[in-house]
Amino acid sequence: MKEKLEDYALSKSLKSDSGTIKVGIIGCGTMGQELTILVSKSGIDVVFIEISEDKVKSSFNGISNQIDDIISHWGMTEGDKRAILSRVEGSTDYKKLADCNIVIEAINTKKWIPNQPTRKEVFRKAEKVIAGNALLISNASTIVISDLASELEKPCRAIGVHFIAPALTTRVIEVNKCHNTNKESTEALYRFIRAIGKETININGSPGNISTRLIVPMINEACELLMEGVSTVAQIDKTMQMGYGMQRGPFTMADRIGLDKLTKWMEGLYNEYGDPKYKTSPIIKRMVRTGMFGVKSENGFYCYKNGKKEEKNGSIFNLGN
Amino acid sequence: MKVLVINCGSSSIKYQLFDMKDESVLASGLVDKVGLNGSYIKNKRNDGDTIKLEGNIFDHQQGIEYVLGVLTSEKHGSIKELSEIEAVGHRVVHGGEVFNGSVSINNDVISTMEDVVELAPLHNPPNLKGIYAVNELMPGTPQCGVFDTAFHQTMEPKSYMYAIPYALYKKHGIRRYGFHGSSHKFVSQRLSEISNIDINNSKVITCHLGNGASIAAIKNGKSVDTSMGMTPVEGLMMGTRTGDLDVGALTFIMNKEDIGLNATNTLVNKHSGVIGVSGVSSDMREVEAAAEEGNERAILALRMYEYRIKKYIGAYAAIMGGVDAIIFTGGIGENADETRKNVVDGLEFLGVDFNHEANKGLRGKEINLSNKESRVQVWVIPTNEELVIARDTIEILNNK
């Protein structure tokens, strides 16, 4: 008979669930994939949930491609990739979340995706299968977390957590507690954030957190400057980069965030606060309508090829011709 | 008197139980994948009994608890009671400037060790976890910390300082520390036990060649220089690490490849060295096999690897004013006969008369590889870092 490790414990205090973290990620699009890599790279098991088997497959491909890209930029090795993938499981079945103590909702709420559940549906569905003390986290940056929490039987387990993109390299994570969030939940979350090597920025119940509320007006103002003909995209970016030591200028940042996503942020913030500084700039609206989303569509304020910026302006500048 | 030696890595625990009456190993083993999927413990008793137990091991404390459980078990154990273990010796990677020798561990020492963590953020925290765990599980048992850097604390400022603004040294402790101290110490001391060389009156160069590699100049028993620096990246070419690299080239790479600190760290620690140049493997045996089949980059990697060692031997002979013995140790130093041959080839001017016959095919055996008339003795001495830790632990305990 095979001997059991537990038989060799010195004391009976060795519980099988002490200190272990397992993470569930619902929605494995680009952000979900990035979160999967981030968590698994820290040695933590991840199970992600997608809406169809095809999506599960394409998410795995996405994860694999993202890691290959990191390897080609020297950030990981083939050995790291094998280790990461060995800790990841993908499924369409919510029951797979049963033994996760942290579940992160990272769904894409684009209107044109069919059969896409809402965040509230996702939260309700997940709560039915997870353990009593498991956390439910939303990665949405402009929602009111209390709204989502109110859907739950145990609202104390809901927390808004904003993983600022690129999640793998950004060192801080914004934590937005709602008034119901209890101490146990926040402590468990802090443990998790430390385990993935990040620092916590605590936010007191503010949709848009710090990062989104500051970045949105700046991008809007940059669009104003552009529309008034004050300067060019490249010059405005360069001013902020070189003048204020920012890593990227507002237009480069907008392209990287994705103009469609940015529009959602802006709408969310404008609805919440009613302040015109958050109102989507007409130039961004126009670009999104024509399918110019930034880096991902290879066309935004700049043109891109294989994720790299090209030395020419995006086709927005030809729209009037 | 029994001493348990523990070496905690980020996700592993290596251990050996010594009976210091005759320095014999009663049991040795490994706990692997701590906190990860598929964790297990593997224990080997000196009578050949081996056991592998798989299950959840979530942290170092739990891992050490199982180690103690196995060691005291009826079926696979080596002792009856935990109290038979009179002391525990820990390998600690970085001792900074504070620890210039092994120390008996108490609360003050632990808090000083915690201060040193920022110098080795990857290695020292797991070492400390091992110490905390033994504190919990075997309260009152004396513990000793043996530092990889301590043996090199005899280096003079002219060899350990970098030519950077002095304020940076004062502010952050940026200087060369050196590693593999227990290994360099063990083989140099062992040399004086097995040869006519008096360690206290000699010039010895020790080459620790494993996946990580470093070389040390030991004059009259004291380390006067070593190739690793503030971190284990400096010096010799290694399995996956660059070794010496122009820092100007590094900032150029960072700019051209548009990479940040993390990727740069991975680049110099994991993508470089033998695997980076050969594109084959970091395992010397695989690279040698590829070289034999004519793989040009594998051949280049091997030649570079040997060349760097030779360059350091020349430099260390110069700073010591000669050399009485060159010692090879570590996985590659003990086993790779071709590497040894190519390293000493051409060192006749220093007084090396190499015994090619004895070297050929020699693996992992303690032997003098130089001819009788050789002014410089060339030795292979298998290292035993665990024994150094056990000996230091006993010594500290006896002097207490």
Summarised one tens digit per residue, pLDDT across range A162-217 is 998 889 889 999 998 877 888 888 888 998 998 898 999 998 877 888 999 999 99
Which of B34, B138, B250, B262 is best to mutate for the A interface (most A CBs within 10 A)? B262
The answer on pLDDT for B261 being more than 50 is: yes
- pLDDT digit string (tens) for B55-97? 888 788 889 999 999 999 999 999 999 999 999 999 999 999 9
Q: Do residues B51 and B131 both lie within one domain? A: yes
Q: Based on the residue annotation, tell me whether B148 is a catalytic residue of this protein.
A: yes
How far is Cα A100 from Cα B41, in angstroms, rounded to an integer? 26
For residue A321, the model assigns a pLDDT of 45
d(CA A199, CA A206): 19
Quick one: B375 and B262 in the same domain? yes
Domain count, chain B: 2
One domain for residues B121 and B221: no
Looking at per-residue confidence, does B142 or A141 come out higher?
B142
- Chain B residues whose CB is inside 8 A of the A14 CB are 62, 65
Q: Is B364 exposed, middle or buried (0-12, 13-18, 19+ CB in 10 A)?
A: exposed
Q: Does some domain include residue A132?
A: yes
Average pLDDT, chain A: 87
Q: Residue A4: inside a domain, yes or no?
A: no
Closest-CA distance, A77 to chain B, in angstroms, reads 7
pLDDT of residue A178: 79
Whether residue B259 sits in one domain with residue B335: yes
- Domain with residue B71: its CATH number is 3.30.420.40
What is the Cα–Cα distance from B37 to B318, expressed in whole angstroms? 50
pTM of the model: 0.83
Q: Are residues B306 and B366 in the same domain?
A: yes
Residue of B nearest to A79 (CA): B270
Q: What is the dihedral of CA A300, A305, A309, A310, to 10 degrees?
A: -100
- B14: closest CA among B24, B5, B3, B25? B5
| A267 in a structural domain | yes
Same domain assignment for residues B143 and B202: no
Give the up-direction half-sphere exposure of residue B385: CA atoms within 13 A in the CB hemisphere: 25
Whether B214 maps to a domain, the answer reads yes
At residue A266, does pLDDT exceed 70? Answer: yes
Residues B217, B295 share a domain: yes
Please indicate whether residue B28 or residue B35 has the higher confidence score (pLDDT).
Answer: B28
| CATH code, domain carrying A228 | 1.10.1040.10
Q: Check residue B361 and give its pLDDT.
A: 95
- A198 belongs to a structural domain: yes
Type of residue numbered A50: E
Say which DSSP state B379 is in.
E
A9: nearest CB among B66, B75, B262:
B66
Q: Which domain holds residue A222?
A: 212-313
CB pairs under 8 A between A and B: 70
Lowest mean pLDDT among A99-103, A151-155, B204-208: A151-155
- The pLDDT of residue A37 is 96
Q: How far apart are CA B170 and CA B174, in angstroms?
A: 8
Q: Distance between CA B306 and CA B346 in Å, rounded?
A: 12
Residues of B whose CB is below 8 A from A18: 58, 62
The pLDDT value recorded for residue A11 is 67
Q: What domain range is B332 assigned to? A: 197-385
Nearest CA-CA distance, residue A173 and chain B, Å: 18
- Residue A85 in domain: yes
State the best of A10, A191, A194 to mutate against chain B, taking most chain B CBs within 10 Å. A10
Residue A110 pLDDT class (50, 70, 90 cuts): low
| Packing angle of the helix pair A30-41, A53-72 (nearest 10 deg) | 60
CATH number at residue A89: 3.40.50.720
Q: Could you tell me if B82 and B216 lie in one domain? A: no
Residues A64 and A183 in one domain: yes
Residue B378 lies in a domain: yes
Task: Give the count of domains, chain A.
Answer: 2
The conformation of residue B352, written as its DSSP 8-state character, comes to: B
* A301 within some domain: yes
Instruction: Give the pLDDT score at A115.
Output: 53
Across residues A13-37, what is the average pLDDT? 79
Residues A175 and A70 reside in one and the same domain: yes
- Whether B33 is in a domain gets the answer yes
Sign for the pseudo-dihedral over CA of B278, B279, B285, B289:
negative
Instruction: Give the residue from B13, B38, B17, B40 showing the smallest Cα distance to B28.
Output: B17
Q: How far is CA B368 from the centre of its chain?
A: 22
End of a domain among A204, A236, A271? Answer: A204
Residue A140 confidence (pLDDT): 79
For residues A45 and A142, state if they share a domain.
yes
Which residues of chain B neighbour A75 with C-beta distances below 8 Å? 259, 262-263, 266
d(CA A88, CA A46): 5
The answer to whether residue A8 sits within a structural domain is: no
* CA–CA separation, A23 and B144 (whole Å): 38
Rg over CA atoms, chain B = 21
- Domain closes at, from A174, A204, A234: A204
Q: Are residues B374 and B229 in the same domain?
A: yes
**Residue of A18, A43, A169 lying closest to B262 (CB–CB):** A169
Choice among B32, B59, B115, B148 that is catalytic: B148
